[in-house]
Amino acid sequence: MSNTPVDIKTVEQAISDFKDPETGRSALRFEQIRDIAISPDGLSMTLALTSWAAPIANDIKGSLEECLRSKFPALANISVSLATHDRPAEQLGEIGLTAKSVIAVGSGKGGVGKSTIAACLAFGLRRQGCKVGLMDADVYGPSVPHLLGVSGRPAATDNKIEPIDANGMPVMSMGFLVPPDEAVVWRGPMLHGAITQFLRDTRWGDLDYLIIDMPPGTGDIALTLSQLIPLTGAVVVCTPQDVALLDAVKAIAMFGKVNIPILGVVENMSGFVCPDCEKRHDIFGSGGARSKAEELQVPFLGEVPINIQIRSEGDQGTLETVFDNPTLAPYLEQVAYSVVRDLARKAAATPPTPSLPVLG
Protein backbone atom coordinates (compact mmCIF):
# COMPACT_ATOMS: atom_id res chain seq x y z
CA MET A 1 0.00 0.00 0.00
CA SER A 2 2.93 2.33 0.71
CA ASN A 3 3.70 2.42 -3.02
CA THR A 4 0.18 3.50 -3.94
CA PRO A 5 0.18 7.09 -5.17
CA VAL A 6 -1.65 9.30 -2.73
CA ASP A 7 -4.13 11.46 -4.56
CA ILE A 8 -7.68 12.56 -3.93
CA LYS A 9 -9.05 9.52 -5.68
CA THR A 10 -7.12 6.97 -3.62
CA VAL A 11 -7.93 8.85 -0.43
CA GLU A 12 -11.62 8.96 -1.27
CA GLN A 13 -11.55 5.30 -2.12
CA ALA A 14 -9.84 4.45 1.17
CA ILE A 15 -12.49 6.20 3.23
CA SER A 16 -15.58 5.55 1.12
CA ASP A 17 -16.86 3.02 3.66
CA PHE A 18 -16.21 5.20 6.70
CA LYS A 19 -19.58 5.62 8.38
CA ASP A 20 -21.30 8.60 9.91
CA PRO A 21 -22.17 7.37 13.44
CA GLU A 22 -25.68 8.79 13.39
CA THR A 23 -26.89 7.34 10.11
CA GLY A 24 -24.52 4.45 9.52
CA ARG A 25 -24.09 5.77 5.97
CA SER A 26 -20.91 6.76 4.17
CA ALA A 27 -19.67 10.09 5.58
CA LEU A 28 -17.98 10.84 2.27
CA ARG A 29 -21.07 10.33 0.16
CA PHE A 30 -23.06 12.66 2.37
CA GLU A 31 -20.40 15.39 2.17
CA GLN A 32 -19.31 15.06 5.78
CA ILE A 33 -15.68 14.74 4.77
CA ARG A 34 -14.26 18.02 3.60
CA ASP A 35 -11.00 19.85 2.87
CA ILE A 36 -8.91 16.81 2.00
CA ALA A 37 -5.33 18.08 1.77
CA ILE A 38 -2.40 15.97 0.66
CA SER A 39 1.26 16.88 1.16
CA PRO A 40 4.42 14.81 0.49
CA ASP A 41 4.38 13.32 3.98
CA GLY A 42 0.92 14.09 5.25
CA LEU A 43 -2.80 13.97 4.82
CA SER A 44 -5.42 16.05 6.54
CA MET A 45 -9.17 16.42 6.30
CA THR A 46 -12.19 17.67 8.17
CA LEU A 47 -14.90 15.35 9.44
CA ALA A 48 -18.25 17.03 10.03
CA LEU A 49 -20.47 15.31 12.59
CA THR A 50 -23.96 16.12 13.79
CA SER A 51 -24.69 17.23 17.34
CA TRP A 52 -26.39 13.81 17.83
CA ALA A 53 -22.92 12.24 17.74
CA ALA A 54 -21.22 14.85 19.96
CA PRO A 55 -20.50 12.50 22.92
CA ILE A 56 -18.51 10.13 20.70
CA ALA A 57 -17.04 12.68 18.27
CA ASN A 58 -13.46 12.19 19.50
CA ASP A 59 -13.73 8.42 19.17
CA ILE A 60 -15.00 8.73 15.61
CA LYS A 61 -12.21 11.17 14.73
CA GLY A 62 -9.72 8.69 16.24
CA SER A 63 -11.06 5.81 14.20
CA LEU A 64 -10.92 7.82 10.96
CA GLU A 65 -7.29 8.70 11.73
CA GLU A 66 -6.63 5.03 12.50
CA CYS A 67 -8.22 4.01 9.20
CA LEU A 68 -6.07 6.52 7.30
CA ARG A 69 -2.90 5.43 9.08
CA SER A 70 -3.51 1.80 8.18
CA LYS A 71 -4.24 2.63 4.54
CA PHE A 72 -1.40 5.15 4.08
CA PRO A 73 1.41 3.91 6.35
CA ALA A 74 4.01 5.94 4.46
CA LEU A 75 2.45 9.23 5.53
CA ALA A 76 3.86 10.44 8.84
CA ASN A 77 1.42 13.29 9.43
CA ILE A 78 -2.19 12.31 9.40
CA SER A 79 -4.72 14.54 11.03
CA VAL A 80 -8.47 14.87 11.11
CA SER A 81 -10.22 17.92 12.48
CA LEU A 82 -13.83 18.02 13.53
CA ALA A 83 -16.57 20.33 12.31
CA THR A 84 -20.31 20.35 12.78
CA HIS A 85 -22.78 19.04 10.30
CA ASP A 86 -26.39 20.06 10.41
CA ARG A 87 -28.98 17.42 9.71
CA PRO A 88 -32.40 18.18 11.19
CA ALA A 89 -34.45 15.41 12.75
CA GLU A 90 -37.23 13.92 10.66
CA GLN A 91 -40.76 13.42 11.91
CA LEU A 92 -41.23 10.28 13.96
CA GLY A 93 -44.34 8.27 13.36
CA GLU A 94 -47.45 10.25 12.51
CA ILE A 95 -47.56 12.58 15.45
CA GLY A 96 -45.11 15.21 14.30
CA LEU A 97 -42.43 14.74 16.94
CA THR A 98 -39.05 15.65 15.49
CA ALA A 99 -36.42 13.72 17.40
CA LYS A 100 -33.63 11.49 16.16
CA SER A 101 -33.69 9.13 19.14
CA VAL A 102 -36.36 8.61 21.78
CA ILE A 103 -35.14 6.85 24.89
CA ALA A 104 -37.32 5.63 27.76
CA VAL A 105 -35.72 5.22 31.18
CA GLY A 106 -37.56 2.60 33.20
CA SER A 107 -37.23 -0.02 35.90
CA GLY A 108 -39.15 -2.93 37.32
CA LYS A 109 -39.73 -1.27 40.67
CA GLY A 110 -40.08 2.15 42.19
CA GLY A 111 -37.47 4.25 43.88
CA VAL A 112 -34.36 2.87 42.18
CA GLY A 113 -33.45 6.26 40.73
CA LYS A 114 -35.13 6.26 37.30
CA SER A 115 -35.93 9.97 37.40
CA THR A 116 -32.46 10.82 38.67
CA ILE A 117 -30.78 8.72 35.97
CA ALA A 118 -33.15 9.99 33.25
CA ALA A 119 -32.34 13.60 34.18
CA CYS A 120 -28.60 12.86 34.39
CA LEU A 121 -28.70 11.13 31.00
CA ALA A 122 -30.41 14.21 29.54
CA PHE A 123 -27.87 16.54 31.19
CA GLY A 124 -24.97 14.32 30.17
CA LEU A 125 -26.01 14.40 26.51
CA ARG A 126 -26.80 18.12 26.53
CA ARG A 127 -23.52 19.02 28.21
CA GLN A 128 -21.69 17.25 25.37
CA GLY A 129 -23.52 19.43 22.84
CA CYS A 130 -26.61 17.37 21.89
CA LYS A 131 -30.09 18.86 21.53
CA VAL A 132 -32.08 17.18 24.27
CA GLY A 133 -35.62 17.26 25.63
CA LEU A 134 -36.82 15.62 28.85
CA MET A 135 -40.34 14.27 29.18
CA ASP A 136 -41.73 13.11 32.50
CA ALA A 137 -44.12 10.25 31.73
CA ASP A 138 -44.84 9.69 35.42
CA VAL A 139 -48.28 11.24 35.38
CA TYR A 140 -49.21 10.07 38.92
CA GLY A 141 -45.98 11.07 40.65
CA PRO A 142 -44.07 13.50 38.45
CA SER A 143 -40.67 14.26 39.94
CA VAL A 144 -38.73 15.87 37.10
CA PRO A 145 -39.79 19.49 37.92
CA HIS A 146 -38.61 18.98 41.51
CA LEU A 147 -35.26 17.41 40.55
CA LEU A 148 -34.54 20.18 38.04
CA GLY A 149 -35.91 22.99 40.15
CA VAL A 150 -38.20 24.22 37.40
CA SER A 151 -41.78 25.31 37.70
CA GLY A 152 -44.33 27.32 35.78
CA ARG A 153 -47.35 26.70 33.69
CA PRO A 154 -46.72 25.79 30.07
CA ALA A 155 -48.28 28.35 27.73
CA ALA A 156 -50.32 27.25 24.75
CA THR A 157 -49.75 28.95 21.41
CA ASP A 158 -51.18 27.91 18.03
CA ASN A 159 -52.56 24.71 19.54
CA LYS A 160 -49.14 23.70 20.80
CA ILE A 161 -47.90 23.51 24.38
CA GLU A 162 -44.67 25.38 25.06
CA PRO A 163 -42.45 23.16 27.19
CA ILE A 164 -40.82 24.66 30.27
CA ASP A 165 -37.24 25.71 29.71
CA ALA A 166 -34.67 24.28 32.12
CA ASN A 167 -31.45 26.08 31.27
CA GLY A 168 -32.03 25.65 27.57
CA MET A 169 -33.53 22.15 27.80
CA PRO A 170 -37.25 21.76 27.01
CA VAL A 171 -39.06 19.84 29.74
CA MET A 172 -42.64 18.62 29.95
CA SER A 173 -44.28 17.10 33.01
CA MET A 174 -47.70 16.67 34.54
CA GLY A 175 -46.13 18.43 37.50
CA PHE A 176 -46.46 21.70 35.55
CA LEU A 177 -50.19 21.19 35.04
CA VAL A 178 -51.43 19.74 38.33
CA PRO A 179 -50.57 21.34 41.71
CA PRO A 180 -48.26 19.00 43.68
CA ASP A 181 -50.74 18.45 46.54
CA GLU A 182 -53.71 17.71 44.32
CA ALA A 183 -54.85 14.10 43.99
CA VAL A 184 -55.87 13.22 40.47
CA VAL A 185 -57.61 9.98 39.63
CA TRP A 186 -56.41 8.88 36.23
CA ARG A 187 -58.36 6.51 34.09
CA GLY A 188 -56.54 4.56 31.39
CA PRO A 189 -57.80 6.65 28.45
CA MET A 190 -56.89 9.91 30.23
CA LEU A 191 -53.41 8.59 30.81
CA HIS A 192 -53.12 7.72 27.16
CA GLY A 193 -54.42 11.20 26.28
CA ALA A 194 -51.91 12.97 28.52
CA ILE A 195 -48.95 11.05 27.08
CA THR A 196 -50.21 11.67 23.55
CA GLN A 197 -50.42 15.39 24.26
CA PHE A 198 -46.95 15.46 25.73
CA LEU A 199 -45.52 13.86 22.60
CA ARG A 200 -47.73 15.29 19.88
CA ASP A 201 -48.79 18.70 21.10
CA THR A 202 -45.63 19.93 22.79
CA ARG A 203 -43.35 22.22 20.81
CA TRP A 204 -40.21 20.17 21.40
CA GLY A 205 -38.34 21.64 18.45
CA ASP A 206 -35.70 19.73 16.57
CA LEU A 207 -34.21 17.21 19.03
CA ASP A 208 -31.34 14.78 18.88
CA TYR A 209 -32.65 12.93 21.93
CA LEU A 210 -35.94 12.91 23.78
CA ILE A 211 -35.42 11.25 27.16
CA ILE A 212 -38.56 9.88 28.78
CA ASP A 213 -38.70 9.28 32.53
CA MET A 214 -41.04 6.32 32.97
CA PRO A 215 -43.33 5.71 35.94
CA PRO A 216 -42.66 2.70 38.15
CA GLY A 217 -44.46 -0.57 37.70
CA THR A 218 -46.82 -1.72 35.03
CA GLY A 219 -46.50 -1.42 31.32
CA ASP A 220 -49.46 0.82 30.34
CA ILE A 221 -47.33 3.87 29.63
CA ALA A 222 -44.77 1.76 27.75
CA LEU A 223 -47.61 0.34 25.67
CA THR A 224 -49.04 3.80 24.96
CA LEU A 225 -45.61 5.10 23.95
CA SER A 226 -44.93 2.15 21.69
CA GLN A 227 -48.26 2.73 19.94
CA LEU A 228 -47.51 6.40 19.31
CA ILE A 229 -43.91 6.43 18.14
CA PRO A 230 -41.13 4.07 17.19
CA LEU A 231 -39.02 4.27 20.35
CA THR A 232 -35.29 3.93 19.90
CA GLY A 233 -35.17 1.87 23.06
CA ALA A 234 -35.24 1.65 26.82
CA VAL A 235 -32.58 2.04 29.48
CA VAL A 236 -33.35 -0.13 32.50
CA VAL A 237 -32.21 1.17 35.89
CA CYS A 238 -31.65 -1.19 38.80
CA THR A 239 -29.82 -1.26 42.10
CA PRO A 240 -27.29 -3.96 42.97
CA GLN A 241 -29.54 -5.97 45.31
CA ASP A 242 -30.68 -9.33 44.02
CA VAL A 243 -34.32 -8.48 44.43
CA ALA A 244 -33.97 -5.32 42.38
CA LEU A 245 -32.14 -7.32 39.73
CA LEU A 246 -35.09 -9.67 39.46
CA ASP A 247 -37.23 -6.58 38.94
CA ALA A 248 -34.85 -5.53 36.20
CA VAL A 249 -35.42 -8.87 34.49
CA LYS A 250 -39.16 -8.21 34.65
CA ALA A 251 -38.70 -4.71 33.25
CA ILE A 252 -36.66 -6.10 30.36
CA ALA A 253 -39.42 -8.62 29.66
CA MET A 254 -42.07 -5.90 29.85
CA PHE A 255 -40.33 -3.67 27.30
CA GLY A 256 -39.84 -6.74 25.13
CA LYS A 257 -43.58 -7.44 25.18
CA VAL A 258 -44.38 -4.02 23.76
CA ASN A 259 -41.52 -4.29 21.26
CA ILE A 260 -39.33 -1.59 22.74
CA PRO A 261 -35.68 -2.59 22.25
CA ILE A 262 -33.49 -2.68 25.35
CA LEU A 263 -30.53 -0.33 25.08
CA GLY A 264 -29.00 -1.66 28.27
CA VAL A 265 -28.86 -1.64 32.04
CA VAL A 266 -27.54 1.02 34.44
CA GLU A 267 -26.65 0.04 38.00
CA ASN A 268 -27.64 2.89 40.31
CA MET A 269 -26.66 3.25 43.96
CA SER A 270 -23.75 1.05 43.06
CA GLY A 271 -21.05 1.30 45.74
CA PHE A 272 -20.48 4.19 48.11
CA VAL A 273 -17.40 6.22 47.42
CA CYS A 274 -16.45 7.76 50.76
CA PRO A 275 -16.12 11.52 50.28
CA ASP A 276 -13.41 11.67 52.96
CA CYS A 277 -11.12 8.79 52.02
CA GLU A 278 -12.37 8.10 48.45
CA LYS A 279 -12.52 4.42 49.37
CA ARG A 280 -15.35 2.50 47.79
CA HIS A 281 -17.79 0.51 49.94
CA ASP A 282 -20.23 -1.79 48.20
CA ILE A 283 -23.19 -1.35 50.54
CA PHE A 284 -25.69 -3.26 48.42
CA GLY A 285 -23.14 -5.59 46.87
CA SER A 286 -21.67 -4.85 43.48
CA GLY A 287 -21.31 -6.06 39.95
CA GLY A 288 -24.72 -7.75 40.06
CA ALA A 289 -26.21 -5.68 37.26
CA ARG A 290 -23.17 -6.15 35.06
CA SER A 291 -23.31 -9.94 35.36
CA LYS A 292 -27.10 -9.97 35.01
CA ALA A 293 -26.77 -7.87 31.84
CA GLU A 294 -24.22 -10.33 30.47
CA GLU A 295 -26.48 -13.24 31.32
CA LEU A 296 -29.44 -11.58 29.58
CA GLN A 297 -27.23 -10.47 26.71
CA VAL A 298 -28.06 -6.81 27.04
CA PRO A 299 -25.40 -4.08 27.21
CA PHE A 300 -24.21 -2.79 30.56
CA LEU A 301 -24.21 0.99 30.22
CA GLY A 302 -22.54 1.99 33.44
CA GLU A 303 -22.91 2.47 37.15
CA VAL A 304 -23.70 5.47 39.34
CA PRO A 305 -22.50 5.35 42.95
CA ILE A 306 -24.77 6.08 45.88
CA ASN A 307 -23.85 9.58 46.88
CA ILE A 308 -25.23 12.11 49.31
CA GLN A 309 -24.81 14.95 46.83
CA ILE A 310 -26.96 13.19 44.22
CA ARG A 311 -29.77 12.96 46.75
CA SER A 312 -29.41 16.43 48.22
CA GLU A 313 -29.00 18.29 44.91
CA GLY A 314 -32.00 16.40 43.55
CA ASP A 315 -34.02 17.46 46.57
CA GLN A 316 -32.96 21.07 46.16
CA GLY A 317 -33.73 21.15 42.46
CA THR A 318 -30.08 21.58 41.50
CA LEU A 319 -29.35 18.07 40.25
CA GLU A 320 -27.18 19.22 37.35
CA THR A 321 -24.51 20.49 39.77
CA VAL A 322 -23.52 16.85 40.41
CA PHE A 323 -21.65 17.12 37.10
CA ASP A 324 -19.32 19.62 38.80
CA ASN A 325 -18.23 16.91 41.26
CA PRO A 326 -15.09 15.38 39.69
CA THR A 327 -15.66 12.05 41.47
CA LEU A 328 -19.21 11.66 40.16
CA ALA A 329 -19.06 13.28 36.71
CA PRO A 330 -17.15 10.44 34.99
CA TYR A 331 -19.78 7.89 36.07
CA LEU A 332 -22.63 10.05 34.78
CA GLU A 333 -20.84 10.93 31.55
CA GLN A 334 -20.11 7.26 30.95
CA VAL A 335 -23.83 6.43 30.85
CA ALA A 336 -24.54 9.07 28.17
CA TYR A 337 -21.44 8.00 26.25
CA SER A 338 -22.33 4.28 26.32
CA VAL A 339 -25.85 4.95 25.05
CA VAL A 340 -24.62 6.94 22.03
CA ARG A 341 -21.73 4.56 21.32
CA ASP A 342 -24.12 1.59 21.22
CA LEU A 343 -26.66 3.41 19.04
CA ALA A 344 -23.85 4.31 16.63
CA ARG A 345 -22.77 0.65 16.52
CA LYS A 346 -26.33 -0.36 15.71
CA ALA A 347 -26.58 2.27 12.97
CA ALA A 348 -23.31 1.01 11.48
CA ALA A 349 -24.57 -2.56 11.50
CA THR A 350 -27.93 -1.69 9.91
CA PRO A 351 -27.99 1.73 8.30
CA PRO A 352 -31.55 3.03 7.83
CA THR A 353 -32.80 3.13 4.27
CA PRO A 354 -31.63 6.40 2.77
CA SER A 355 -34.29 9.05 2.69
CA LEU A 356 -31.85 11.77 1.77
CA PRO A 357 -30.72 12.33 -1.80
CA VAL A 358 -27.32 10.78 -2.40
CA LEU A 359 -24.82 13.50 -3.20
CA GLY A 360 -21.81 13.22 -5.46
Q: Give the interface with ligand ATP as residue ranges (CB under 6 A).
A: 107, 110-116, 138, 141, 143, 216, 268-269, 304, 306-307, 310-311, 314
- Write down the least CB distance from residue 237 to Mg ion, Å: 10
Q: Does 146 bind Mg ion (CB under 5 A)?
A: no
In terms of phi and psi (left: phi > 0; alpha: psi -120 to 50; beta: otherwise), the region of 235 is: beta
Q: Which of 107, 101, 157 is nearest to 133 (CA)?
A: 101
**Residue 60 touches which member of Mg ion, ligand ATP, none, C-beta under 5-8 Å by kind:** none
**Residue 110 touches which member of Mg ion, ligand ATP, none, C-beta under 5-8 Å by kind:** ligand ATP
Nearer to Mg ion, 23 or 115 (CB): 115
Integer Cα distance of 190 and 201 in angstroms: 15
Torsion angles phi and psi, residue 243, rounded to 5: -65, -40
- Write down the least CB distance from residue 329 to ligand ATP, Å: 13
Tell me the number of residues near Mg ion by CB under 5 A. 3
- Write down the least CB distance from residue 162 to ligand ATP, Å: 25
Any residues with CB less than 8 A from the CB of 156 and at least 6 apart, and which?
A: 162
Helix H or strand E segment including 100: strand 97-106
- Write down the least CB distance from residue 266 to Mg ion, Å: 14
Nearer to Mg ion, 237 or 301 (CB): 237
**Residue 87 touches which member of Mg ion, ligand ATP, none, C-beta under 5-8 Å by kind:** none
- Write down the least CB distance from residue 110 to Mg ion, Å: 7
Nearer to ligand ATP, 237 or 339 (CB): 237
CA angle (288, 293, 296) in 5-degree steps: 125
Q: How far from the centroid of its chain's Cα atoms is residue 336's Cα? A: 6
Query: Pattern 106-145, binding to Mg ion, x per CB under 5 A?
Result: --------xx---------------------------x--
Integer Cα distance of 165 and 179 in angstroms: 18
CB 252 within 8 A of CB 262: yes
CB 112 within 8 A of CB 119: no
**Residue 304 touches which member of Mg ion, ligand ATP, none, C-beta under 5-8 Å by kind:** ligand ATP
CB 105 within 8 A of CB 213: yes
- Write down the least CB distance from residue 201 to ligand ATP, Å: 24
Q: Which of 288, 301, 311, 300 is nearest to 336 (CA)?
A: 301
- Residues in contact with Mg ion by CB under 5 A are 114-115, 143
